[in-house]
Structure 1
Amino acid sequence: MSQSFEHLAFEHLDQATLKAWLDDARPLTLVDIRDPLSYAQGHIPGSRHLDNATVGDLLADTDRKRPLVVVCYHGHSSQQAASWLAGQGFECVYSLDGGFVDWQVRHPTRVAR
């Protein structure tokens, strides 16, 4: 009997929904997987930089029941990272559609530097 994997381990999240969640101060974990320089030059407020060096800390100190949103440049590589993180036991994992580039265009005043 083969096991079915028809559903994705993560969900897509649109920009408007993330903005609403942040406006409502909804508890969530926001991680940015872009390179360190890009992150330093601008990121969504409240996000933490995530790379191979910091993923251990994320796994060790993050509530896996809390929604986890993954941000990259355009919303492509965040899908792979979100899928991997879902496999690490995070229950609600999202990939931000359009990534940081779209966020910066739509919400220029909501970029931390």
Structure 2
Amino acid sequence: MALAERVPFQCLSAAEAAALIRAEADLTLFDVRDLQSYQQEHLDGAMHLSEDRVPLWIGRLPKEAPVLVYCYHGNSSKTFAQMFSDFRFARVYSVDGGYRPLASALAAPAAEEAPSDVVSPGLAAFLADWQYPSGELNARGAHGLTPLMRAARQGERALVQELLALGVDLHARNDDGNTALWLACVSRDAGLVQDLIEAGIALDNRNDAGSTALMYTASSDRPQLLELLLAAGADPQVRNFDDLRAVELAASKACLKLLRHTAD
């Protein structure tokens, strides 16, 4: 008997995939990044999937069950989606752009589409200058930077405060895995860093190299910001993917002095 023709999998944008996740209660969601990345962060309800476990799931899931697969950038997920499609699963989806755009689409608050009369002239000009769509306060620009990240990187404290008041996504990560906190540390603006801390930004976010903002301030000789992060509760014992802590990355005596109690 001839096999039934398989139904090709579909590629979805991050926004389309987020809508599917919200709408489909029986959706099976797979994360096919490496296990370390999955353990660091993943979408709620997503299960880690490696190639050797695909046959297990193919035998377990009903063929009519919707399956959504995401990876880093939308390439590996197509390979996994094809595997399910080859076994005649009827509704298989791969997420274009991968994990970060999808996470941002799911986390985007109501401020994603801010009315023009809510945004100050200064913020409106800033969005236009950096070519962000008007009123889309969580849009991703060059290098995956949102308006909040860009304003933090430029040291635009007043704009950061306005964006925070408008409820933008505080935990979005750029293409390197950094949040606005790291970029505020790049700008060296202690007040701006404090604003983000008080807003509740994650202190120990690890980027794609496993590094935190605390490690950055230690390695780039920013003792004032290092002290500020330590006082806020940043963890000096976190290790990057080279198994190094902030104390082992300290670039100056001032930074080493602040971290000396963590050396043992």
- Larger mean Cα displacement after TM superposition, 92-101 or 20-29: 20-29
The CA RMSD over aligned residues, in Å, is 2.3
Distance of 1:75 and 1:89 partners within structure 2: 21
CA distance in 2: counterparts of 1:60 and 1:91, whole angstroms: 14
Aligned-residue sequence identity (percent) comes to: 33
After TM superposition, where is structure 1 displaced by more than 4 Å over at least 4 residues in a row? Answer: none
Q: How far apart are 1:23 and its partner, in Å?
A: 2.5
Matched, 1:34 2:33: yes
CA distance in structure 2 between the partners assigned to 1:84 and 1:55 by the alignment: 8
- Counterpart of 2:61 in structure 1 is 62
CA distance in 2, matches of 1:69, 1:96: 7
Cα offset for 1:9? Answer: 1.7
Task: Give the letter for the 1:24 counterpart.
Answer: A
Closer/same/farther in 2, CA of residues 105 and 23 from structure 1, 3 Å limit: closer
Partners of 2:22 and 2:84 lie apart in 1 by: 25
Q: Output the TM-score relative to the length of structure 1.
A: 0.78
Letter of the 1:44 counterpart: L
Letter in structure 1 aligned against 2:60: D
TM-score by length of 2: 0.36
Work out whether residues 8 and 82 of structure 2, in 8 Å CA contact, stay in contact via their aligned partners in 1. Answer: yes
1-side partners of 2:11 and 2:77: how far apart? Answer: 10
> Could you tell me how far 1:53 is from its partner in structure 2?
3.4
More strand by percentage: 1
Structure 1 match to 2:48 = 49
Question: Is 1:95 aligned to 2:117, yes or no?
Answer: no
Structure of higher CA gyration radius: 2
Shift of 1:25: 4.5
Count of paired positions:
104
Q: What CA distance in whole angstroms lies between the structure 2 residues aligned with 1:31 and 1:93?
A: 11
Residue by residue over 1:7-63, the C-alpha shift from the partner in whole angstroms, topping out at 9 and shown as x without a partner, is: x82111121122222323432111111111111111111111111332232112112
Residue matched to 2:191: none
Displacement of 1:98 in angstroms is 0.9
CA distance in 1, matches of 2:51, 2:22: 30
Q: Structure 2: 5+ residue runs without aligned partners?
A: 1-6, 108-168, 172-264
Instruction: Tell me whether 1:19 sits opposite 2:18 in the alignment.
Output: yes
Q: What is the Cα deviation at residue 78 of structure 1?
A: 0.9
TM superposition shift of 1:104: 3.4
Moved more, 67-76 or 11-20: 11-20
Q: Aligned-pair distance for 1:105? A: 4.0
CA deviation profile, 1:56-80 (whole Å, cap 9, x unmatched) = 3211211210111111101111112
Q: Is the 8 A contact 2:15 2:102 kept in 1?
A: no
| Aligned residue type for 1:90 | F
Identify the structure with the greater helix proportion: 2
Secondary structure of residue in 2 paired with 1:54: helix
C-alpha distance in 1 between matches for 2:21 and 2:31: 15
SS at match of 1:12: strand
